[in-house]
Amino acid sequence: MRHKGKVLFATGAGSGLARAVAQRFTREGGRVAVADFNGDAANKVAAELAGAIALQVDVSDEAGMARAVGAAHRHFGRIDCGFSAAGIAETDPIEDWALERFNRHIAIHLGGAFLCFKYLIPIMKAQGGGAIVTVASVAALVAQKHNGPYGAAKAALLQLSRQVAADVAPFNIRVNIVAPGSIQTGMTEPYMLKRGNGDLARGAVLHAQHFGVQRVGQPDEIAAPVCHLLSDEASYTTGHCMVVDGGLTLA
């Protein structure tokens, strides 16, 4: 029950990694503001979690993020933790990208984290501390075919998070980053289906055949380290990028 009495504001929590984090955080005694672009998905997840609320928000919309964080703060009276995980994934040769689509990736991945920092940090300063985790990717660390805009956004997010960690450390606020490898979620399954010619299980095996552990990861395998970084167990850890990739970056 290491999160007993704590409140988490999590973006992208209607599915995937953030949903797993919200579930684990709740099991460990906390309460969660489930924020997602898909309001129905947010409502469904929140209904499954004791004490949770659902918030519909586009993380690239500043007014919307200000309202969502404010609503969570008013409802719970505090926000101790933040998890910025909303994201999209698309792959194409760079010459096939329109600037508008490129900017959308930057706005969601980088801008969404920026707005989490902007509106969560004042609350945490007033409370005397807090913890935030952002989601980068191994794509922030190594080049991947046709993944330029995503990788660029994640690399920028990694450095933004480290910069903010330095700024807020004197206020007892910790900022850390998790960099997952290939995790099986609704965002990645279309690529695995394509790899397996419609067979998801086969596609997942083929997708992971060059990893150290030779399998894709599951969302709770990211939720575990995230909830550790959000907890007091990681009280001396800030500005750290935890790579959780099954050995993908070993080669």
Residues with a catalytic annotation lie at 150
- 130, 81 contact by CB (below 8 A): yes
Q: What is the per-residue burial (b if ≥16 Cβ within 10 Å, else e) of 179-192?
A: bbbbbbbeebeeeb
Q: Give the Cβ contact number of residue 194 at 10 Å.
A: 11
- 156, 137 contact by CB (below 8 A): no
SS3 content of the chain, % helix, strand, coil (to 5): 50, 15, 35
Beta strands 31-36 and 7-11: pairing type?
parallel
